[in-house]
A = this chain, B = another copy of it.
Amino acid sequence: MNRKAAIVGGGVIGGGWAARFLLNGWDVSVADPDPEAARKIDAVLDRARRMLPMLYERAMPGEGRLTITDDLEGAVDGAAWVQESVPERIEIKRAVFSRIAAAVAPGVPVGSSTSGYKPSDLAEGLGAPGAQVMVAHPFVPVYLLPLVEVVGHPGSDPAVLDQAETVLRAIGMAPLRIRAEIDAHVADRFLEGVWREALWLVRDGIATTEEIDDAIRLGFGLRWAQMGLFETYRLGGGEGGMAQFVAQFAPALEWPWSRLTDVPTLDAELSAKIASQSDAQSGHLDPDQLARLRDDNLVSILRALKARGSAAGAVLATHEESLPDPATAEQAEGAPLITLERTVPIDWTDYNGHMNESRYGQVFSDAADGVMRRIGADAAYITDGLSYFTADIRIRFLAELHAGARIRVESQVLEGKGKKLRLFHRLLDAEGAEAATAEQFLLHVSLETRRSCVPREDVAARLEALAAAHAQLLAPDPAARLP
């Protein structure tokens, strides 16, 4: 197969398609008469080049060749995929499709990015090439979100639809074959329902746009990112699964809850259909396994958002500030400093079923942050442009740790003078047994010059006092030290 894609219509959607193909090694020809097309596509491409490769633990292939042209027929010539993303007006789409039909080779999938039209609306009057036309509806940002709704029409060639799935998977996307064409396909009908309800709520002064966003992203949005609607609700049915949930929920359809007044009847037939489809989907997991799956995913997503300080992650970060910080709490004199106390989260474990070795390094990095806070090299200090960077570390791994384990770190200052900070850490499990030790050598740096420099006087003084106190402690085992 010739790995060339023709993207008809630039802009945010067309640019996203171009990025998907290019970054997966395809050549791309974008047909767009807009003189601004190159600038618009470049903007999307720049973002995609930065973000898409971050999703993978492997390198992506070399980028394909990009051409931008006003010659639609030339772009389509020799392409193994044609994607239309022109404005959402039927007369514009029809004009474009008749030109594509005249230029496209037999058997090549011709996708439309339309969010509203049915494929038969687009294939009408095209003759044989109409059998190659389908909806291939992506979601912004196209270069990151995997979903593509693939919708055929009664005249579609099934082999071309199959080929479309193959190509979409090859560029990292998830084709979802829709069983029958309807206006707006599937996902956008949900979006439209929520949008309409949201408009009522804003109009009636029940909630502002920001409050509505919070009502979504701090609650069910987190469930929908990983399970969607039915698998989440299945959990609500407990041992009885979806059948029980449907039975519980059916009366609510009679309630005057929303403005959405055309309500399907949840009769025995529909209830049975839902229950059996849900069994086929999730029946291999018992309620406990399903809840575990949900919770593991939620913890992982929430922690990802916390690291970014965004949405539900900002709520967590604020609450975390209210939890005691051992590193700055009062502690016994003449003992190593407790710099960290926490639980091993699920996202720290690996295929061996235990805490990944890199997370031992994370724990010691966080313990060094604890020493820094203790001596006043805190968040404000870092904002002021000063910090410590690790230059050298040796970690000895003594025992496995598993998700849910409560751990703590005791840290001893071995050297703390001028630019130098040398620490010895012991990672202890809940019973106080050593799971690892580390000797870590750090240098004080200016975040402006990125070079080493001496700490602020008060920080240096506190560090020297701590080093003097810790000099009284037992020295670490020489076999555990850096050379």
List 11 A-B pairs, Cβ < 8 Å. Answer: A55-B316, A56-B343, A59-B324, A116-B252, A176-B211, A186-B207, A210-B281, A213-B229, A297-B305, A300-B305, A360-B361
The smallest beta-carbon distance between A63 and chain B, in angstroms, is 12
Tell me the A338-381 residues at the B interface (CB within 8 Å): 341-347, 350-353, 356-362, 364-366, 379
Q: Is A404 an interface residue (CB 8 A)?
A: yes
* Contact flags A170-186 to B (C-beta < 8 A → 1, else 0): 10111010111011101
Given contacts A189-B257, A299-B55, contact A209 B116 (CB under 8 A): no
- Determine whether the beta carbon of A216 is less than 8 Å from that of B187: yes
Q: A139-B223, A187-B220, A226-B305 are in contact. List 5 more A-B contacts (CB 8 A).
A: A145-B218, A197-B260, A198-B229, A213-B228, A214-B228
Q: How many copies does the complex hold?
A: 2
Which B residues are in CB contact (< 8 Å) with A144?
295, 298-299, 302
* Contact flags A314-331 to B (C-beta < 8 A → 1, else 0): 011011101111100000
CA distance in complex: A326, B59 (Å): 9
Q: Which one of A1-9, A64-72, A385-393, A464-472 contacts B?
A: A385-393
Most interface-central of A235, A249, A264, A273 (chain B CB within 10 A): A264
Which B residues are in CB contact (< 8 Å) with A233?
195
Given contacts A139-B219, A225-B217, contact A146 B316 (CB under 8 A): yes
The smallest beta-carbon distance between A440 and chain B, in angstroms, is 9
Tell me the A377-428 residues at the B interface (CB within 8 Å): 379, 382, 387, 389-397, 400, 403-404, 406, 408
- Determine whether the beta carbon of A342 is less than 8 Å from that of B59: yes
- Determine whether the beta carbon of A217 is less than 8 Å from that of B226: yes
Q: Is A106 an interface residue (CB 8 A)?
A: no
* Contact flags A189-203 to B (C-beta < 8 A → 1, else 0): 111111111111111
Interface size class of A (residues with CB under 8 A): 35 or more
The smallest beta-carbon distance between A213 and chain B, in angstroms, is 3
Which B residues are in CB contact (< 8 Å) with A215?
147, 149, 176, 186-187, 190, 228
- Determine whether the beta carbon of A258 is less than 8 Å from that of B189: yes
- Determine whether the beta carbon of B224 is less than 8 Å from that of A206: no
CA distance in complex: A172, B319 (Å): 5
Which B residues are in CB contact (< 8 Å) with A190?
193-194, 197-198, 215-216, 220
The smallest beta-carbon distance between A479 and chain B, in angstroms, is 8
Given contacts A343-B54, A361-B361, contact A228 B212 (CB under 8 A): yes
In the complex, which of the residues B197, B210, B266, B297 contacts A230, with contact meaning CB atoms closer than 8 Å? B210
- Determine whether the beta carbon of B56 is less than 8 Å from that of A357: no
The smallest beta-carbon distance between A185 and chain B, in angstroms, is 8
Q: Is A50 an interface residue (CB 8 A)?
A: yes
In the complex, which of the residues B183, B222, B255 contacts A225, with contact meaning CB atoms closer than 8 Å? B222
Which B residues are in CB contact (< 8 Å) with A281?
208-210, 213
CA distance in complex: A382, B88 (Å): 52
- Determine whether the beta carbon of A300 is less than 8 Å from that of B291: no
Q: Which residue of B lies closest to A195 (CB)?
A: B229
In the complex, which of the residues B274, B358, B389, B403 contacts A202, with contact meaning CB atoms closer than 8 Å? B274
CA distance in complex: A236, B364 (Å): 43
The smallest beta-carbon distance between A368 and chain B, in angstroms, is 9
The smallest beta-carbon distance between A62 and chain B, in angstroms, is 11
Q: Which residue of B lies closest to A146 (CB)?
A: B315
* Contact flags A298-311 to B (C-beta < 8 A → 1, else 0): 11111111111011
Which B residues are in CB contact (< 8 Å) with A323?
56, 58-61
Which B residues are in CB contact (< 8 Å) with A303?
54-55, 304
Q: Is A57 an interface residue (CB 8 A)?
A: yes
Given contacts A193-B260, A228-B217, A308-B297, contact A345 B236 (CB under 8 A): no
Q: Is A231 an interface residue (CB 8 A)?
A: yes
